Structure 1
């Protein structure tokens, strides 16, 4: 229902959610299009699918994610001829509002494939249809109210094909409560898988609220990886009071390039960074209490990890980053800072490629690093 939308609960957080999706859509499309241009024109298509699209505009008149995505496509020289967009909402009122919002976009007629707007409940029929088809490169955004319609099978039915990534948004508190509610057991089993859901239910009995959250999110991420979504990246949204989670945004991809792109985007949207390492959450409290978050020093931990992991090896900065960053909170610039610190301390040897000069304070991708053998 429109009145239950996340935007109505947290306007600023909803804006950040939409911004993350819009930024990733743009970066993802650019990467995919560069590959598609090598193929026949008939195969040059990308897709954006949103099965819980909402009304198109929020109550204050600002644009929601579908409108932002379509405007981004219209402004690009290539996307108007390639983008196939499908928007769905089970609420007929939302569908009518979305249609009006899309019709009012300037330049919407320049899209070769007019946006498709559907009014369906999302269930097994949609999943089966997607499972049976080979999809064009697709960015799939899933933003349901609660959990109805959100399932591992739905996500996997899209990300199974090349160039297909998924971003989904879920209300943590509703899922946390749903795991112990027999009335919605079927929905929880669809989200986690029955065996994993039963395991999580048993684990949660003895856990604190914070431990419950970590366990639930970890279980979802592991379930996605088990289905082939090798690269999974969560981003947390806190309530304004700062001590309770409201939602999580989870990115799923089968390719490390998408993971790297989203990691950089989420890092920039994080409300707080410690030693330059992003928190991967939006928490209004961190903006008011920055000193509390300096008690942890994650960059120091990265330096120690690098010395331990790559003991006795010589490799480039880029090779170090590629082999180490997946599943960790660090982005490329964190590795460069950590390696620069280790160099300044005399704990690693750095070799400049022949014929190249180095600007002071920089750490280029092709610099070679020799780590001492661990004693």
Structure 2
């Protein structure tokens, strides 16, 4: 992180490689843990880490790249409970053949290279590309880091992984690339297949809508809904240019794993600005609306008031769950923090709408904690 405050990092207007190097390596550890919690993983059948935009370092500071940081984390994890060194097969691709060759030379020169259990695979040849396609076609779980609107092979591989439904994706892209791709996508392309009937609707909306922000919002919503059609939920971190109400990048986690979404958000909350009610604006360099009267919070996309109301309305869904379980299931796709949930349930307790129970004995307790079982009272 740059400086003492994580938010300072995005105030420097970093480019995509720097953002990926900041966010991806620490989150990847959480992803491996989430995957290992739900699957049996063997050394003979490792998870794939597939970086489809693995640009080499353009400076002598190789240690600053996402590739180096991630591989070092794999090396350090050897022998730990979550031994990612044995559990993960790294795979790298770049749009430039020369860039991929340079990256391979940099990786093979790392002091811990020989200690990597699964040596990185570089997609130089038809043989290696065929191998990774076969792995994805067989349903091997993968973590795919890419720009979904990048070069054709990257698009084809991420779409293949998407169609198999076993992978998770960290997508980093500029909005202008999304808009351009939607306008130029050809029939039968990976993007056109993903969007389906939505593509002509998007193009029609682009022609009708006058304001650029409306086009951006609609296009992103359609993209996310096409992923939801495949049962993938999306967490969206919006990165604005410093001092401007203008999107610079979108960072999306696309996953079916609730725990992965939760960890992704928790990692990025320190980079966020906050509303006056303590709810994060999930993004960087965002500007909060000044609320003059409390009632206005109901009109914001997310607020402490709306969280409390939503939990009360979903009493039947969450009845008798622990607060931790409610948090993990409800928070996906929202900016709400653990503290927001504590505040919401304290409010519901004050209003007499819930009873707190000891999860083991079923006895009534009075101090709210994430281990408490929540009993909603019937109205």
Normalised TM-score (structure 1): 0.78
2:256 aligned residue: 254
Distance (whole Å) between structure 1 residues aligned to residue 284 and residue 141 of structure 2: 29
1:174 aligned residue: 177
1:209 aligned residue: 212
1:224-277: CA deviation from partner (whole Å, max 9, x where unpaired): 122x24222221111123211012112111332322332322334434455332
Structure 1 residue ranges without an equivalent (≥5): 1-6
Q: Is the 8 A contact 1:22 1:65 kept in 2?
A: yes
Distance (whole Å) between structure 1 residues aligned to residue 317 and residue 125 of structure 2: 58
Instruction: Decide which of 195, 218, 224 is 1:193's aligned counterpart.
Output: 195
1:53 aligned residue: 54
Q: Is the 8 A contact 2:43 2:87 kept in 1?
A: no
Distance (whole Å) between structure 2 residues aligned to residue 190 and residue 312 of structure 1: 36
2:141 aligned residue: 137
Q: Is the 8 A contact 2:318 2:326 kept in 1?
A: no
Tell me if 1:21 matches 2:24: yes
SS at match of 1:85: strand
Structure 2 residue ranges without an equivalent (≥5): 1-9, 298-302
Instruction: Decide which of 216, 241, 244 is 1:242's aligned counterpart.
Output: 244
Tell me if 1:336 matches 2:342: yes
Q: Would the alpha carbon gap of residues 280 and 40 (structure 1) be closer, same or farther in structure 2, given more than 3 Å must change?
A: closer
2:331 aligned residue: 325
Deviation of the 1:221 alpha carbon:
0.7
Deviation of the 1:98 alpha carbon:
1.1
Deviation of the 1:170 alpha carbon:
1.8
Q: Is the 8 A contact 1:236 1:247 kept in 2?
A: yes
1:4 aligned residue: none
Aligned length: 351
Deviation of the 1:168 alpha carbon:
1.4
Distance (whole Å) between structure 1 residues aligned to residue 60 and residue 203 of structure 2: 37
Q: Would the alpha carbon gap of residues 189 and 109 (structure 1) be closer, same or farther in structure 2, given more than 3 Å must change?
A: closer
Distance (whole Å) between structure 2 residues aligned to residue 188 and residue 135 of structure 1: 18
Distance (whole Å) between structure 2 residues aligned to residue 151 and residue 27 of structure 1: 24
Distance (whole Å) between structure 2 residues aligned to residue 26 and residue 118 of structure 1: 23
Q: 1:291-306 counterparts in 2 under 5 A?
A: 292=290, 297=297, 298-306=303-311
1:155-208: CA deviation from partner (whole Å, max 9, x where unpaired): 34224557521111122013224444x5x5566953753421111111223332
Q: Would the alpha carbon gap of residues 363 and 206 (structure 1) be closer, same or farther in structure 2, given more than 3 Å must change?
A: farther
1:230 aligned residue: 232
Q: Give the aligned CA root-mean-square deviation in angstroms.
A: 3.7
Q: Would the alpha carbon gap of residues 363 and 275 (structure 1) be closer, same or farther in structure 2, given more than 3 Å must change?
A: farther
Q: Is the 8 A contact 1:89 1:119 kept in 2?
A: no
Q: 1:1-375 counterparts in 2 under 5 A?
A: 10-11=13-14, 15-33=18-36, 41-43=43-45, 45-56=46-57, 63-77=64-78, 78-119=83-124, 129-130=133-134, 133-143=137-147, 147-149=150-152, 154-160=157-163, 164-180=167-183, 185=186, 189-190=191-192, 192-207=194-209, 208-226=211-229, 228-272=230-274, 274-283=276-285, 286=287, 292=290, 297=297, 298-310=303-315, 314-316=319-321, 317-322=323-328, 324-344=330-350, 346-353=351-358, 354=361, 362-371=368-377, 373=379
Normalised TM-score (structure 2): 0.77
Q: Is the 8 A contact 2:241 2:247 kept in 1?
A: yes
